[in-house]
Amino acid sequence: MNPQTPKTAHSSKKRLNQDQVRLLEANFDAAKKLEPERKFQLARDLGVPPRQIAIWYQNKRARWKTQSLELDHGVSQVRLEAALAEKRELEKEVDMLRSELRRTQEMLLGFRQAQAGGGGVSAVSSCCDEGGGSGSSLNDDSTNWPNVEELYACLMAKGQNCPEIVIERDYWV
C-alpha cells in the first residue's frame, strides 16, 4: 500500500487464509444463515471483524443460490429432453396404431363387401378356423360374422394360418 494513500475502512480488511475459509465453509454447510452470536464467535476465532464474516456469508449464500438454480435448471433440462423423447416415441406409436386401425377397418370393409357379394371370405374363415377362433366361422352361416375380437386375433396371428391374406407391412411386431 502506498504510504501517501489515505487509509479507508475498506483497506483495513484482510484477506482470509485457507484455514479460515475452510472453517467458514464448514459452518456454512451446517447453517446457511448466520446467527449474531455465531458471527461474533467466528470473528473472535478467526481474528477478523464481524462485518467481514457477515459479508462472506452473504456472498457465499449468493453463490450457493446461483449454483442451486443452475443445478435445478440442468435437472429440468434433462427431464424436459426425456419427456420430449417419450412424446416422440408415443407419437410414433399412435401413428402406427392409427395405421393399423385404418388397415383393419379397410380389411373389415372389404370382407363385408365380399360377404354381401357372396364370396371372398375364405381367407378370414380359414384363419379363424385354423387359428382356433371361438367357434364362429364365416362358412357356417353367411350372416354370422366373427366379432371384432376374433377378427383382431386373426390379424394378430400375423397371417400365419391365413395364407390368402396378404399383409403388406407387419405392424404387430
Average pLDDT for 2-14: 54
Helix, strand, coil fractions of the chain, as percent rounded to 5: 65, 0, 35
- For residues 140 and 25, which has the higher predicted lDDT (pLDDT)? 25
Neighbouring residues of 105: CB distance < 8 A, sequence distance ≥ 6: none
Residue 82's pLDDT is 96
Residue 48 has pLDDT above 90, yes or no: yes
CA–CA distance, 95 with 127 (Å, rounded to integer): 27
Domains of the chain in start order, with CATH, are 16-91 (1.10.10.60)
60 pLDDT tier (thresholds 50, 70, 90): very high
Instruction: Give me the pLDDT at residue 132, please.
Output: 44
Of 105, 162, 171, the residue nearest 128 (C-alpha):
162
**C-alpha to C-alpha distances, 29 to 22, 107, 112, 156, nearest whole angstrom:** 10, 69, 75, 61
- Express each pLDDT in 93-152 by its tens digit: 999 999 999 998 888 888 888 888 765 444 444 444 444 444 444 444 444 555 666 666
Q: What is the identity of the amino acid at 45? A: D
> Three cell numbers at 128?
379363424
Residues in contact with 53: Cβ distance below 8 Å, sequence separation at least 6, in sequence order: 24, 34, 39, 42, 43, 46
Residue 63 has pLDDT above 80, yes or no: yes
More confident residue, 165 or 107: 107
Question: Which pTM does this prediction carry?
Answer: 0.46
45-54, 61-70, 85-94, 163-172 — which is least confidently predicted?
163-172
Q: What is the mean pLDDT of residues 69-96?
A: 95
Q: Rounded distance, CA 36 to CA 26, Å?
A: 17
Average pLDDT, the chain: 76
